[in-house]
Amino acid sequence: MFVPKRYVFEKRALDYPIGQKLYKQLTKEKKNVIVLKSSRAVLEKMTSIEEKFHYGKETLIFGVKSSKKFITCRPSAHYQIPLVTGCMGRCEYCYLNTQLGDKPYIRTYVNIEEILDKAKKYIDEREEMTIFEGAATSDPLPVEPYTHGLEKVIRFFASEPLGRFRFVTKYHNVEPLLNIDHKNHTDIRFSLNSDYVINQYEHYTSRLNQRLEAAKKIGDSGYQLGFLIAPVFLYEGWEESYQKLIDKLNQTFKDFKDKITFEVISHRYTIKAKKRIQDVFPQTKLPMEEESRKFKYGQFGYGKYIYKPEDIDRIKSFFSKYLSNMAFQTEIKYII
């Protein structure tokens, strides 16, 4: 659960029952509660990028999502469903460092019923299976105890024959989701990495064993379970390091009967991301040397540095070999 240093309410959030309830509860508990006209004022007194980042990461905003359209989310889903923006984690490599820019705070929405009404319209308009991603710009699990947004969304999609929901997390507080009658319409994935990468770069996230224990609970509750191994880094001893991760997966799920999906993504970065990362984490040891990478234009029109073809082949060979021979049934969706 995310316990920030300050709770900020946009004035409009107090017009909703959840907003009013949370405001009264947090005020009664003598938390640091602030009411602002707009979330834009949260960081106006901050000066440096580093200061804004860490101040924002300690701030939870309760706001109202008023955009009329959902953003598309190809190829993994048809649309993003906006439950939360931002993440309490401080992973050095995260693309949100650049995508959210000067808005690094965590913002969760109190008008969930209105958001679900929009999702329903998209489903009805398409008249075919429609998939919604709940973690495109966030990790919604740490703020679940406040708005119970995931619970409401999972229950909503359970009643939608042509609607499906998916999200990914690096956290382990899954207990509120375990007894929901989800009708197998929700796909929950856990982002994993080697102990080395988690300890070195994934600050303020759950440890590997905690994620695996939480994943086991989710799988035992009948959800479609998946793992995102990302980003994969090549460093001295990387194969042994990721082999330990695979061994832990095998040990945890050796008796699991259902299929588990895997997505594997190698590390990549843009020049813009590199600059932002170095501003926010001046002591970072992230491997971002252009001479060891290949420049490639992505599907969104900007260029990024990926591993060279021979290195990508090593990653594909390693994970294809081991993930295809697990103690349980697997489906490798892609290794890139």
Classify 225 as helix, strand or coil.
Answer: strand
Give the predicted TM-score (pTM) of the model: 0.94
Rounded distance, CA 259 to CA 222, Å?
11
Closest residue by Cα to residue 6 from 49, 48, 54, 78: 54
Residue 300: the pLDDT is: 61
- Please report the DSSP string for 1-35 in residue order: ----SEEEEEGGGGGSHHHHHHHHHHHHTT--EEE
Low-confidence ranges of the chain (pLDDT < 50): none
Long-range CB pairs of 25-34, under 8 A, 24+ apart, other chains included? 31/7, 32/5, 32/6, 32/7, 33/6, 33/7, 33/9, 34/6, 34/7, 34/8, 34/9
Contact by Cβ (8 Å): 48, 56:
no
User: What are the boundaries of each domain within the chain?
Assistant: 6-335
CATH 3.80.30.30 fits 6-335, yes or no: yes
- Please report the DSSP string for 82-142 in residue order: -SEEB-S-EETT-THHHHSTT--SEEEES-HHHHHHHHHHHHHHH-S-EEEES-SSB--GG
Rounded distance, CA 162 to CA 125, Å?
11
Per the DSSP assignment, residues forming a β-bridge with 186 are 165
| The CA-based dihedral angle spanning residues 92, 98, 99, 102, taken in that order and rounded to the nearest 10 degrees | 110
Rounded distance, CA 27 to CA 38, Å?
19
Residue 295: the pLDDT is: 95
